[in-house]
Structure 1
Amino acid sequence: MDFSIKACDWTKGTTNVFLTGKSDCIVIGVFESQTLSGAGLEIDEATKGLITRVVKAGDMQGKSGTTVFLHEVSGIGASRVLLVGCGKQDAFGQKAYNDAARAAWRAILGTKIGQVTFTLAQLPIKERTAEWGVRAAILALRTETYQFTQMKSKPDPAKRALKRVVFSVDTVDEKAAKIAAKEGEALANGLDLARDLGNLPGNVCTPTYLADTAKTLAKDWKLKVEVLGQKQLEALKMGAFLSVTRGSAQPPQFIVLQHQGAGQKAAPVVLVGKGITFDSGGISLKPGDSMDEMKYDMCGAASVFGTLRAVAELGLKINVVGIVPTCENMPSGTATKPGDIVTSMSGQTIEVLNTDAEGRLILCDALTYAERFKPAAVIDIATLTGACVIALGHHNSGLFAKDDALAGELLDASREAVDPAWRLPLDDEYQEQLKSNFADMANIGGRPAGSVTAACFLSRFTEAYPWAHLDIAGTAWKSGAAKGATGRPVPLLTQFLIDRAQLS
């Protein structure tokens, strides 16, 4: 799909290219006030009051998310006009804008429209810019058109005939909007990769499959890649990671991807993604209900791959390292048992009280390995705890950080990317729940504050650098009729790295 930007000042009559240019449809926003401005007013005048008549007739009242097609419109180059309700103008913020954009795309994708002129990004969005509107609209469109059909013998027909979108922006916003369009496409490509990996079944998306995907990414985007196997992990004394792999016939893989966008001496940001390609719970077996969704336990790894793809496509001038420890967690005669004690790469010993708390065991060794890169910051991303779902539901990812500045950067990025996160506590008092009579720590801290104690466990392996943890158990996928991976938090992570790159 082709996206382009054209500058236009609808208040000064410099609109001939839009009024006379050939297009299948032009998208116009209408507020509940029923007063037209900008593109709406200009199109109304060119069509001799057509939009005013439709509004006065009550066919378009401006309510958020409503749409009306006007067909065979004369006086302009577009054969159709799509009116989109934007709600109250004084409440037109990012949510209302996204609702309007999604409504527009859904209406258009239900037709054979191939080329669209989109003017909604030029509306005054509270606390947001036109370039933000362009990027958000591209992401909304790509989300609406995403389909996972790789495993179907007869794939569903594609949702779209749409091939080209032209965004109308003010002249002063043109340069920034062109950058935003590129960011939107790169983000969408990264999201699609993360979604695809998450949606693949566990018998296809194995640890070896993830390793092969990393190698393909490296080849396609000039990244550096290294994959460590069983013997190398044993030599590194990654006893915590290897304890999770013991019950599976699938060999573990430890993947390291590097984007070198800045100088050799510039400290990298390290992203660590949990890559459990299927989580049965091990000997602490999960209930059978919805266990199929445990193929999504590698969505942290998928988000690292998706983010690195977006970063590489954008050519960000920042060094980024992606680390993905990946394996299955399965029950068998060789599997780790509750009560077993393992030694992590850091030398700290762990009493495994529950084998279904395995994500922290693979992550802790990866966090220790990250020290060798002397990172500016480390962020781990994991579908780690059901407790985070209970605490925050499916809207916000859980954010934990020892470093207030790093937490602030991530929260700012989450708001800009509309990929919400909420900071949860990491107080020392919670560490008491991890006490063990027999080892340095237990791998669980009981039911109270389960997501907090999981983060506290990880924090014990991060003394060497600024660190944050994103628990995406509630946001990485959807259940029910809309079942599927979301690709989150690729937008948050990519925005964080864009912001960092601009500061360097």
Structure 2
Amino acid sequence: MQFELTRLPASQEPRGCVVVGVYASHALTPSAKQLDQASGGAITAAAKAGDISGKPGDTLMLRALQGVAAQRVLLVGCGKSGEIDEGAYQRVVAAAAAALGKLHAADAAFYLTELAVAGRDEAWRVRAAVAATSHALYQFTEYKREPGRRHLKTLAIGCRARGGKPLEAALAQGQALAEGVRLARDLGNHPANVCTPGYLADQARGLAKKHGLVVEVLDEAQMGELGMGALLAVSWGSREPAKLIVLKHQGGKAKSAPVVLVGKGVTFDSGGISIKPAATMDEMKFDMCGAASVFGTLKAAALLKLPLNLIGVVPTSENLPDGNAVKPGDIVTTMAGKTVEILNTDAEGRLLLCDALTYCERFKPEVVIDIATLTGACVISLGGHASGLLGNDQKLMDALLDAGRSAHDRAWQLPLWDDYKEQLRSPFADLPNVAGREAGTITAAAFLSAFTDKLRWAHLDIAGTAWKSGKEKSATGRPVGLLLQYLLDRVGA
């Protein structure tokens, strides 16, 4: 879908539909007032009649209003004026988008960006509106005989600011974010018999060719020469060879230290010999959503031509049971030279990540951020609202927390005290890959921290935020919004 800006008054906008807001008190947003005056009070009459309550997300479609150029007017409830925060704004936008998605109109004009959101300017509202609309209208129908159809092709975003450049930049950022999130969602939603490690490598090559990135794909022989015994152990039980994918966006000065994103890419996680219960095991195709978020962020950065050096590192494998699969009690040697006793083969993500983190040292990075659907404990702790955040550099974590608040793709910091590291004891190896049930999210990060002594590092556990279950089962594309906002903040955009 295409997005553009419009400065026409709502009554003069000749689109198939014009979208304006109504507050819970039946007060009207500025554009709704303008439409009301042009139509002789039609909107006020509808509100007084109780046809629209003004509650957040409530909608009412009016047609053929006299004095209004558009064929339809969509009224959207916005809640109480003065009480709209980032989340409420996105929910109102999503409700409007859902209503627009049911129309046969090819285009629409959207004036909800005039809602006051505490602490956010019009540029933020434009960018968030584009991203939220795209997210709400997303469909994944590649494997359906009768794919769903969206008639809406163009959405014009009404704006009031006189200066055009900040809003044009915000529109471009919103579109890039939408494209990045869409890619991450598509990759996550593909079935595991399609989205294999080899498929991810091919997608990386396609991204590189289309967007001017540099790509390198290491095979198992090359990883073996580097000593990546932990990463390779995960793929022992699979017929699909593991890959290490490296994607580079070189937008900064040649010698500038890069930001490195490391994404866990387990394209299907059965748990291996420590096999998972059958219920909802199909959702383990989403265990590569960390990798998908890295791909999506690289695409968004390339579209915006961000002036920084950004590297994505994706260790990818399947985790399956087989006669050759790694067993509980096996000991492997990592690229860093440390040995790991694998007590639970279902704690495989940290085995991929520890070797990938060591590999990142060669880039002499400014910071390294890993993104992984790592622990069920994080789902229990934070649900689907916030990603878990841990690391060894508070300045980096503060920047990520700020970015998450701004993008409304929030994270929550958990402690990574030495006390938790004491749980990682093995009588036979330098480290075990699990440390018991207590504080599972933290001890998983503590394991990774053993491989980050030379790095400014942060870890995002997205096990609760990367996908939704049930009727709405789908990858979410998180935390592409957080990551892109972090990069935008770094370059002062």
8 Å contact kept, 1:130–1:173: no
Contact in 1 for aligned 2:328/2:343 (Cα 8 Å): yes
Deviations 1:3-56 (A, max 9, x none): 111336xxxxxx4xx433422221111112223352122221111222222222
Q: Which residue of 1 aligns with 2:47?
A: 55
- Name 1:421's counterpart in structure 2: 411
2:46 counterpart SS class: helix
Matched, 1:377 2:372: no
CA distance in 1, matches of 2:302, 2:3: 20
Do structure 1's residue 200 and structure 2's residue 190 form an aligned pair?
yes
2:422 aligned counterpart, secondary structure: helix
Q: Which residue of 2 aligns with 1:138?
A: 130
1:127 corresponds to which of 119, 134, 137: 119
Structure 1 residue runs without a partner (length 5+): 9-14
| Range with bigger deviation, 29-38 or 141-150 | 29-38
Mapped to 1, the partners of 2:486 and 2:313 lie a distance apart of 17
1:101 deviates by 1.1
Deviation at 1:478, TM superposition (A): 1.0
Aligned to 1:169: 159
Whole-angstrom distance in 1 between the partners of 2:414 and 2:13: 52
Pick from 226, 240, 264: which aligns with 1:250? 240
Aligned partners of 1:53, 1:289: CA distance in 2, in Å? Answer: 52
- The 8 Å contact of residues 122 and 161 in structure 2, kept in 1 or not, is answered as no
Residue 406 of structure 1 aligns to which amino acid in structure 2?
A: L
Contact 2:29 2:115 in 1 (8 A): no
Question: 2:237 aligns to what SS in structure 1?
Answer: coil
Give the alignment partner of residue 341 of structure 2, picking from 351, 370, 389: 351
Does 2:424 match 1:434? yes
- Between the aligned partners of 1:280 and 1:52, the Cα distance in structure 2 is 57
| Deviation, structure 1 residue 99 | 2.0
Contact 1:131 1:173 in 2 (8 A): no
**Aligned letter for 1:155?**
E
For 2:365, give the aligned amino acid: P
Take 1:66 and 1:173, find their aligned partners in 2: how far apart are those partners? 32
Matches within 5 A, 1:408-487: 408-487=398-477
Query: CA contact under 8 A between 1:32 and 1:61: conserved in structure 2?
Result: yes
Query: What is the distance in 2 between the residues matched to 1:457 and 1:85?
Result: 48
Q: Which residue of 2 aligns with 1:264?
A: 254
How far apart in 2 are the matches of 1:202 and 1:127?
42
Secondary structure at 1:171 match in 2: coil
Q: Which residue of 2 aligns with 1:30?
A: 22
Q: Distance in 1 between matches of 2:13 and 2:466?
A: 42
Q: Give 1:210's match in structure 2, choosing from 190, 200, 211.
A: 200
Task: Give the Cα separation in 1 of the matches to 2:402 and 2:446.
Answer: 23
Which amino acid is the alignment partner of residue 464 of structure 1?
Answer: K
Aligned CA distance change for structure 1 residues 24 and 406 (closer, same or farther; 3 Å): same
8 Å contact kept, 2:29–2:114: no
Q: Tell me if the contact between 1:276 and 1:329 (Cα under 8 Å) persists in the aligned partners.
A: yes
Alignment match of 2:143 (pick from 148, 151, 160)? 151
SS at match of 1:321: strand
CA distance in 2, matches of 1:357, 1:141: 36
Task: Give the conservation status (yes or no) of the 8 Å contact 1:272–1:381.
Answer: yes
Measured after TM superposition, the shift of residue 173 of structure 1 is 5.4
- Stretch deviating more after TM superposition (25-34 or 354-363): 25-34
Deviation at 1:382, TM superposition (A): 0.5
The correspondence for 2:312, drawn from 322, 330, 349, is 322
**Which of 34, 37, 41 is matched with 1:42 structurally?**
34
- 2:323 is the alignment partner of 1:309: no
- Deviation of 1:457 (Å): 0.3
Q: Which amino acid aligns with 1:57?
A: A
In 2, Cα distance between the equivalents of 1:150 and 1:58?
41
In structure 2, what is the equivalent of residue 6 of structure 1? 6
